Amino acid sequence: MSDIGTSVEGSDEEYPKSGPVDRAINGPLDESEAGAIRPSIDLGSLRIEPKRGMQLRLEIDKSNDRVIAVTLEHDGSSVQLQPFAAPRSSGLWHGIRAQIMDQIRKQGGTASEVEGPFGPEVAAQVPVQSGSSFSTRRVRFVGIDGPRWFLRAVISGEAATHPEAAEVIHTMMRRVVVVRGNTPLPPRDLLPLQVPPTGESPDKGEA
Full set of structural domains in the chain with CATH: 23-194 (2.60.120.1690)
CB within 8 A of 130, min separation 6: which ones? none
Q: How confident is the model at residue 8, as a pLDDT? A: 76
Q: How confident is the model at residue 206, as a pLDDT? A: 53
Q: What angle do CA 117, 119, 120 make, to 5 degrees?
A: 120
Q: How confident is the model at residue 1, as a pLDDT? A: 45
Q: Is 201 exposed, middle or buried (0-12, 13-18, 19+ CB in 10 A)?
A: exposed
Q: How confident is the model at residue 13, as a pLDDT? A: 76
Q: How confident is the model at residue 198, as a pLDDT? A: 61
Q: Are strands 41-42 and 77-85 parallel, antiparallel or unpaired?
A: unpaired
Cut 0.75: pTM above it: yes
Return d(Cα 79, Cα 199) in angstroms, integer. 23
Over the chain (207 residues), the average pLDDT of each successive run of 10 is 64 85 95 83 95 94 93 97 95 94 94 96 91 88 97 98 96 96 92 80 55
